Amino acid sequence: MTDRRRINGPPSGTSPPVFASSLSSKVFPAKRKRAPDELRKIFLKTGLTPSASGSAYLELEPSTPTAAHKSLATKAPALKLTCTVHGPRPLPRSAPFSPQLSLSTRIKFAPFAARQRKGYVPDAGERDLAAHLETALRGVLIGERWPKSGVDVVVTVLEGGEDALWNRGQSSDGGRTGGWGMMSILSGCITVASAAIIDAGIDCIDVVTGGVAAIVRQPTAPPQVFIDPCPADQEEIYATCVVGYLQTRDEITELWTKGNVTLSIDLGFEHLLDQAVEAAVAARLVLIEAIKESTEIKVQTSRIGHPKNAAS
């Protein structure tokens, strides 16, 4: 249902004119230049939203630098996520009694997040992602310490990588909400939500991070497992696996696999899973760094006092 109170943009982006000259350089699908076990660089920072009790921002740059392309049309999308955590706060009176922290997650694509504009009402894909995120986070929160209270985790996808280059014709249409790109986004969501939860100071048994790996067809060689596949890389993916992983406890809180794993017989499911865990472990390093940074600032602020307090 469209929202008639707002002036909505066209359902899909209008394509900028592509002039003949630029077509002379053929639009190559970007190729992965990273090693199979190399992550894209992650930018993660907490404390973006002061009004929330915890917040974080995560950015994954596309593996191919955008400067390489002159044409706007082939600009590879990045992944930009913000997460805010509100709470723990008392449940409304109308809510039934809950002996532990009740977690509610929401993932929303900004209308401009992808080439295909999203509506304001969460669609099935977004709700599905939110459910996965909830599973990932539920396993890490110590809910018993916060009875009768709730926490809202809201992830906004500011820029979500698309499954296919938009100008290569309509890809399989199911990809709009449920393609391989969703898996990378979920992995990012887990990491950024974890950072925001830690920023909010909610008790956790460990730090959960998301990791993703995919079995990718090689033109000549047998299929190989790539860590952190980028949707812009135009790989032909057989199967993808996302995990939410707790490293110190060696536990998995969330596991989502899609595709046909059996296509690559010698690379079993376990291997795919291992690689996803590998990605999660690497993402954890970034997360720890981000937490360290924000913790240092907090410690100093609390010791010295905020200038505002001093003034008043």
Partner 1 sequence: MSRHKLVKALDLDEELDDFDGGAESDYGEEIGAEDKEQLRVGTARVRDVLGPGVSIRDREIEDSLWHYYYDVDKTVDYLLGQRTNSQTPKKTKKQRTAAEVKQPDAPINSTQDWGTGDHITTSDTFSSWAAPFSTADFFSDCPWLNIPGDRHGDILIEPLYPRGGLLGGSSKSDGAPKSKLAALAAARKQKEIQKAEDGQNATNSAALLDKLIGKPRQLKPDGAPISSSGTPLSAITEQTVKEQPRKYPRRKSKRLESPEDDQPAKKTSQKLSCSASPEIEKPPEIIPTAGPSVFAQIIFGAPAGSQQHEVYTSDRYMLRPDTYTEFDFAGPSPDDVVTKAQNTKGPTKKPVKQPPQPPSGDQGVNAVAQSVGNVTIEEPLVKRKNLDVAAEFEKSKPKNAANFVVIGHVDAGKSTLMGRLLYDLKVVDQRTLDKYRKEAERIGKASFALAWVLDQGTEERNRGVTIDIAMNKFETKTTSFTILDAPGHRDFIPNMIAGASQADFAVLVIDASTGNFESGLKGQTKEHALLVRSMGVQRIVIAVNKLDTVQWSRDRFDEISQQISAFLTSAGFLAKNLAFVPCAGLTGDNIVRKAQDPHASWYTGAPLISLLESSEPVTRALEKPLRMTVDDIFRGGVQNPLSVSGRLDAGNVQIGDTVVIMPASQTATIRGLEVDSESSDWAVAGQNVVLHLADIEAKYLKSGDVVCPPSAPIRCVTSFTVKILAFEHITPMHCEVHKGRLHAPGRVTKLVAQLDKASGAAVKGKKPRLIKPGSVAKVLVEVDDPIPLEQGGKVILRAGGETIGAGLVE
Q: Write down the least CB distance from residue 146 to partner 1, Å.
A: 8
Q: How remote is the C-alpha of 15 from its chain's centroid?
A: 26
Site string for partner 1, 72-101 (x = CB under 8 A): ------x-x-------xxx-----------
Name the minimum Å distance from CB 214 to partner 1. Answer: 15
**Under a CB-based contact definition with an 8 Å cutoff, are residues 39 and 227 in contact?**
yes
| Residue 110 interacts with partner 1 (CB under 8 A): yes or no | no
Shortest separation between residue 213's beta carbon and partner 1, angstroms: 12
Contact between 281 and partner 1 per CB under 8 A = yes
In the range 21-50, which residues lie near partner 1 by CB under 8 A? 35, 37-45, 47-50
Looking at the chain, list the stretches that DSSP marks H as alpha helix, in order from N- to C-terminal side: 20-24, 124-138, 175-178, 181-200, 269-304, 307-311
Work out the widest C-alpha separation in the chain, in whole angstroms.
Answer: 70
| Residue 67 binds to partner 1 (criterion: CB under 8 A) | no
Query: Does 247 participate in binding partner 1 (rule CB under 8 A)?
Result: yes
Binder among 23, 68, 131, 285 for partner 1 (CB under 8 A): 285
Give the residue ranges of DSSP H helices in 51-208.
Answer: 124-138, 175-178, 181-200
Smaller CB separation from partner 1, 68 or 304: 304
Q: Are strands 102-109 and 149-159 parallel, antiparallel or unpaired?
A: parallel
Secondary structure in 3-state letters for 24-44? HCCCCCCCCCCCCCCCCCEEE
Distance of alpha carbon 86 from alpha carbon 54, whole angstroms? 7
Query: In this structure, what is the dihedral angle of CA atoms 120, 101, 85, 290, given to the nearest 10 degrees?
Result: -140
Among 72, 95, 131, 299, binds partner 1 (CB under 8 A): 299
Q: Least separation, in Å, of the C-beta of 122 and partner 1? A: 22
Min dist CB 69 to partner 1, Å, is 16
Contact 150, 158 (CB under 8 A): no
Per CB under 8 A, which region of 19-27, 185-193, 235-243, 281-289 contacts partner 1?
281-289
Q: Which residues contribute to the site for partner 1 (CB under 8 A)?
A: 35, 37-45, 47-53, 57, 59-61, 78, 80, 88-90, 146, 149, 158, 201, 205, 207, 247-250, 270-271, 274, 277, 281-286, 288-289, 291-292, 295-309, 311-312
